[in-house]
Amino acid sequence: MSRRSGRITLQARDSNTPEPMVRASLKKRKSEPSKKKLQPAAKKQSYEIQKCWSEDGASPCVLIETPHKELEPSDPSSFKQYRFKNLFIKSSPIPRLSWASSDDVWIKMLNKELKYVHDKSYLQRHPKLQPKMRAILLDWLLEVSEVYSLHRQTAYLAQDYFDRYMLTQDDVSKEFLQLIGITALFVASKMEEIYPPKIVEFAYVTDGACDMWDIQQTELHLLKALDWNLCPETPISWLKLYAQVEAQRDGENFLEPQFSQETYIRITQLLDLCMMDIGSLDYSYSVLAAAAFCHFSSFDVVHKVSGLTWESVAPCVRWMSPFMDALKSEATPQLKNFPKVKADDRHNIQTHVGYLDLLRKAQERQIDNPDCQLSPVPVGPMLTPPSSTEKPANL
């Protein structure tokens, strides 16, 4: 009796609740536990990836809700199904890894295709801009990248940042394109390069059009607009994966490049040219890389390294054909030497050729290709950075 009264007294002092109310609530609590067990909906649902690959073809991945072990689903059709849009793949082509699960790596790469959205329709939000202006800007960024020996991944990250940033803005004037582009390259270099150029060097290549304060302020706007999502899988990262999977042999380290550097730079030159055309934004980055790889290999190899079906790659392959024809008229690209760059890393450094002239030739060839949508031929003044010999010695 003393314990019970003591317990009630302590509760009454805490909550200032009269004794009869406390007894009533205690009785109510005793009758509630059985009801809680009958409410499974309050528990969190977990998901698993259902492998539904057919032996003779590819099927889409399916994410299904998994019921709790103690519950028996009365109606399996009530569980929702989630499909990867436009990702018709087979199981992971990545070989078995000692440092991670190849399936996990593959799924994370595919998830990025869904997370990072790009769309060429953003030009409708900017009536003062034309596709040729984007081509001129990207050509200049590639030239700046070669001047400072930046990696290809850096240049492609800058292109992705620029296109996704413009998708979030309205009515941007052409006077700000160079500032947005050099800021995107500045952010990309800090993401990818071990020793990125200083901000004063990025301001310098604009020949006084942008100062350091402008770049810093634009950087804040860009990061906020992109919500700090700065790690997409670019066409270059997909291409490097495809090339490595195709060249991989048993017992070799997957992280060490096994593919031919000469073939790789030829494919990257095709990708460089295609990315300057705004029509490239109609395709996912993985499909763009697969289509470029297909022009230098057979589709059987492409299917093996990517899992993509011919139906998903064929439109991009046909769209890319005029660009490939334009490159065939040029000399085969050669590996370049860069200061402080090792020989086995030369293929990763971004290079620049006369891409605007090649783009004009490719778009002229598109006239005979009904599957291609023409983009205006880039004309007008080029934004050219100073050569490395003209830069001040103190930079």
pLDDT at 41: 46
DSSP character for 381? -
**If you search the block for the tokens 């028996």, which residue do you land on?**
72
Domain boundaries, the chain: 47-89, 102-389
pLDDT at 90: 57
Q: Above 70 in pLDDT, residue 55?
A: no
Radius of gyration of the chain (CA): 28
**For residue 10, is pLDDT > 90?**
no
303: helix, strand or coil = helix
Q: Which of 24-38, 174-188, 337-351 has the highest mean pLDDT?
A: 174-188
Strands 81-89 and 59-66: antiparallel
**Residue 183's beta-bridge partner residues?**
none
State what percent of residues in the chain have pLDDT above 70.
69
| 178, 181, 187, 193: CA torsion to nearest 10 | -100
Q: For 238-273, what is each residue's pLDDT tens digit?
A: 999 999 988 887 766 677 777 889 999 999 999 999
Q: With 0-12 CB in 10 A as exposed, 13-18 as middle and 19+ as buried, what is 30?
A: exposed
Asked whether the predicted pLDDT for residue 197 surpasses 60, the reply is yes
121 against 385, higher pLDDT: 121
Q: What is the pLDDT of residues 336-394, one digit of tens each?
A: 989 888 988 999 999 999 999 999 999 988 876 655 543 433 333 334 444 545 544 44
- pLDDT at position 306 over 80: yes
Give the β-pairing of 59-66 and 46-50: antiparallel
Higher pLDDT, 142 or 13: 142
102-389 topology per CATH: Cyclin A; domain 1 (1.10.472)
For residue range 71-82, list pLDDT tens digits in order. 444 454 544 444
Q: What CA–CA distance (Å, rounded) separates 269 from 93? A: 25
